């Protein structure tokens, strides 16, 4: 495990030694296109889109750079889901020239390098292709790479299980949307706590009902008071 010993996100307790450092992180959202969504079979499209939208909001809230891309912007794969640039207006879009692997595209790699950040959080459709290829190549180029499995999609359950195994084999860290949220969030003792709670309600929809019940229970006491 490669630990940058002096990450700013490591606390005196040792907490965060193995966690991603928000100030060193850039989020890459790869080929989340409407046509490709139809082929995704390891997660419901509603859940996939909600997870990606949550990440876009999270990036905005915590001021983390986002880069989006598509291989054939005018082709049958369709447009990027509009929620990404709607919720993350700071996101930079890099069109590709037909390359399947974003890391094959000089512009894309250039924009990543220009951020100066060395931790890449990737998600995309398909997991086994649009995330896998740049993830492995970036890892070989020395980046710390996370793959967000449930903000990505594969054309079968079997392909999805294979992707998970190949990420681990290649030194890429697999993660889930809720875990990414918490790993960037780190503490409720921060000014964004209220907004973050809303994001948890997106990452885990039952949590929305938890909050609603909590507020109603407290109102019942207050109203009775």
Looking at the annotation, which residues are catalytic? 130
Residue with tokens 């996370």: 146
Cβ atoms of 51 and 27 closer than 8 Å: no
Piece in contact with a copy of itself (CB under 8 A), picked from 22-30, 45-53, 55-63, 87-95:
45-53
Q: Given candidates 98, 116, 191, 194, which one binds a copy of itself under the rule CB under 8 A? A: 98
- The nearest distance, CB 164 to a copy of itself, in angstroms, is 5
CA 180/CA 171 separation, integer angstroms: 18
- The nearest distance, CB 191 to a copy of itself, in angstroms, is 12
Q: Given candidates 46, 63, 116, 194, which one binds a copy of itself under the rule CB under 8 A? A: 46
Cβ atoms of 143 and 119 closer than 8 Å: yes
Residue with tokens 């499995």: 149
Q: Given candidates 8, 75, 90, 114, which one binds a copy of itself under the rule CB under 8 A? A: 75
Where do the DSSP E strands lie in 3-84?
25-30, 66-70
Q: Given candidates 78, 85, 93, 198, which one binds a copy of itself under the rule CB under 8 A? A: 78
Piece in contact with a copy of itself (CB under 8 A), picked from 54-62, 87-95, 114-122, 123-131:
123-131
Piece in contact with a copy of itself (CB under 8 A), picked from 17-25, 55-63, 86-94, 115-123:
17-25
Q: Given candidates 27, 120, 121, 203, which one binds a copy of itself under the rule CB under 8 A? A: 203
Q: Given candidates 22, 27, 29, 50, which one binds a copy of itself under the rule CB under 8 A? A: 50
The residues, any chain, with a CB within 8 Å of residue 89's CB and separated by 6 or more, are 60
**Tell me, what DSSP letter sits at residue 188?**
S
Nearest to 49 by CA among 81, 91, 80, 73: 81
Contact flag: residue 192 with a copy of itself (CB under 8 A): no
Of residues 138-177, which lie at the interface with a copy of itself (CB under 8 A)?
139-141, 149-150, 154-156, 158-171, 173-177
Contact flag: residue 185 with a copy of itself (CB under 8 A): yes
Nearest to 176 by CA among 82, 15, 52, 57: 52
Tokens encoding 167: 């990420």
Of residues 51-70, which lie at the interface with a copy of itself (CB under 8 A)?
none
**Tell me, what DSSP letter sits at residue 189?**
S
Please list the residues that pair with 147 across neighbouring strands. Answer: 122, 174
Contact flag: residue 49 with a copy of itself (CB under 8 A): yes
């Amino acid at each position: 495990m490669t630990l940058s010993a002096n990450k700013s996100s490591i606390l005196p307790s040792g907490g965060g030694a193995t966690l991603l450092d928000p100030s060193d992180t850039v989020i890459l959202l790869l080929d989340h296109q409407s046509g490709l969504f139809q082929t995704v079979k390891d997660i419901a499209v509603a859940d996939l889109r909600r997870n990606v939208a949550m990440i876009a909001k999270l990036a905005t809230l915590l001021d983390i750079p986002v880069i989006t891309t598509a291989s054939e912007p005018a082709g049958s794969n369709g447009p990027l889901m509009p929620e990404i640039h709607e919720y993350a207006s700071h996101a930079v879009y890099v069109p590709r020239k037909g390359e399947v692997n974003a890391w094959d595209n000089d512009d894309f790699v250039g924009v990543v390098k220009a951020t100066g950040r060395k931790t890449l959080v990737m998600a995309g459709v398909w997991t086994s292709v649009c995330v896998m290829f740049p993830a492995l190549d970036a890892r070989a180029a020395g980046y710390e790479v996370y793959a967000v499995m449930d903000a990505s999609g594969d054309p079968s359950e079997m392909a999805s299980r294979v992707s998970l195994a190949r990420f681990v084999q290649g030194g890429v860290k697999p993660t889930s949307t809720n875990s990414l949220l918490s790993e960037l969030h780190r503490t409720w003792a921060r000014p964004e706590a209220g907004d973050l709670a809303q994001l948890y309600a997106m990452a885990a929809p039952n949590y929305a009902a938890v909050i609603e019940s909590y507020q109603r229970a407290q109102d019942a006491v207050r109203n009775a008071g």
